Amino acid sequence: MKITDVEAIYVSQNQVRAQCDSGQDALIVRITTDAGITGIGEVDSAPLAAKAVIEGPFSHTISTGLKHLLIGQDPFETERLWHTMYQRTIYSGRRGIGLHAMSGIDIALWDIKGKALGLPIWKLLGGGFHKQIRCYASTLFGATPQATGEIARRIRDRGFGAVKFGWAPMGQDARTDVDLVRQARRGFGDDGQLMIDAGLVWDARTAIQRAHAFAEFDIAWLEEPLQPDDYIGYRKLTDASPVHIAAGESESNRQSFLDLMDQGGIDIVQVDLTRCGGFTEAVKIASLAADRGLKVANHGFSTYINVHAALHWLNAVPNALIAEFVVQENTDLREYLTTNNVRAVDGSLPIPDAPGLGIELNEEQVRKFRVA
């Protein structure tokens, strides 16, 4: 079997709002083979920039478009192809956009392998730890603390036992920050699990103050309150915080995660398969976390391709904690792009058991929303 084509498909809602919501557009990767088997993946990044990384021409030995490297190759050789892509994009890759683009390709390659063998990806990875995995509903804060409380009540009424709120208006001032968490807890109830994503808004001193203030509301973790490279700040925070500190969605490749774990000392490692290097790298990151006694969770605020990929990965590692499941109310592009999407039932997600990712593109809807 040989790869015959690699497509990077940019889709978008008609209106992309100025909010931290990567579900408003997406970059889908589609790889076709001479055996008639097609694999899909996703890149959660700056879509058109990642598209250029994939479709760009050869420039020189260590700065070339990824598609150029893949045509004619065997899609089963995922480890070798990952290494080739990494080495041949040293100047433009290594971390950030280069790894993001590789992620979508790697996911699509594993999808091809699963379909060719008639097996779900988690089985190819040697998994089978779960039949279903507990999930939390993930959404942005409301415009006000009161609106946040109302959203929390609606989510609880849908049967979720855990919820995460994130980003603006968190970070405006101490009173607003605390009231956002207070109203989220009040709306969701005392017996539900509450996570808070600060959205990179504070320095270490402020984050320590907020962690102590939020502890009153029994939060399960405080997520990404600092800038991603502030490892010294993260170490100060984790040493002083009464609540668990989670981070990782901004990282790509295992070295980034090693820095965050060993220098930053975080408690919970969050891995986005559409940014970190795909399955090939994600299983290694989970292993490094397990060696340090740390739990892993996925990050995913984009399409169901990301969700399905995360579930396969979480089912293949022994230190999986919980799955993120987006319920953002004013974004629904993800509902149209794919078929056979998993659904949360009583606060859990079933592990897909169909070959590959267990999900397919809705070609009609992809054409409708395609921009480039």
- Domain range enclosing 176: 124-363
55-89 pLDDT, tens digit per residue, is 998 888 888 899 999 999 999 999 999 999 999 99
Mean pLDDT over residues 243-249, rounded?
Answer: 97
pLDDT at 26: 94
Distance CA(128)–CA(124), nearest Å, equals 10
Average pLDDT of the segment spanning 273-284: 98
* Residue-level pLDDT at 213: 98
Mind telling me the catalytic residues? Answer: 299
Burial of 256 (0-12, 13-18, 19+ CB in 10 A): buried
User: Could you tell me if residue 111 is inside a domain?
Assistant: yes
Residue pLDDT, tens place only, 157-194 = 999 999 999 999 999 999 999 999 999 999 999 999 99
- CATH code, domain with 24: 3.30.390.10
Question: Any idea what the CATH number is for the domain that residue 266 is in?
Answer: 3.20.20.120
113 and 206 fall within a common domain: no
Say if residue 354's pLDDT is above 90.
yes
Q: Which long-range contacts (CB under 8 A, 24 or more apart) does 226-233 make?
A: 226/200, 226/202, 227/200, 228/200, 228/260, 230/203, 230/204, 230/264, 231/259, 231/260, 231/263, 231/264, 232/204, 232/263, 233/203, 233/204, 233/207
User: pLDDT tens digit string along 33-63?
Assistant: 999 999 999 999 999 999 999 999 888 888 8
- Asked if residue 79 is part of any domain, the answer here is yes
- pLDDT category at 22 given cuts 50, 70, 90 is confident
Same domain as 108, residue 154: no
State whether 47 and 187 are in the same domain. no
285 in the same domain as 227: yes
User: Do 114 and 250 belong together in one domain?
Assistant: no
Decide if 371 is inside a domain: no
Q: How many domains does the chain have?
A: 2
- Claim to verify: residue 47 and residue 137 sit in the same structural domain: no
Per-residue pLDDT of 141-152, as tens digits, reads 999 999 999 999
Tokens linked to 180: 């956002």
Mean pLDDT for the chain overall: 96
Q: Nearest to residue 134, comparing CAs of 305, 322, 364? A: 322
169 lies in the same domain as 51: no
Question: What is the residue whose two structure tokens read 């940014």?
Answer: 275
Domain final residue, candidates 81, 97, 119: 119
Residue 369 lies in a domain: no
pLDDT of residue 250: 94
- Six token digits for residue 82: 């990952």
Say if residue 226 is in the same domain as residue 252: yes
214 and 190 co-located in one domain: yes
Entry pTM: 0.97
Q: For residue 361, what are the β-bridge partners?
A: 338
- Residue 304 — pLDDT band, cuts 50, 70, 90? very high
Residue 294: beta bridge partners? none
pLDDT > 90 fraction of the chain, expressed in percent and rounded: 90
pLDDT of residue 63: 83
Section 300-326 average pLDDT? 97
At residue 282, the pLDDT reads 98
Residues 174 and 233 in one domain: yes
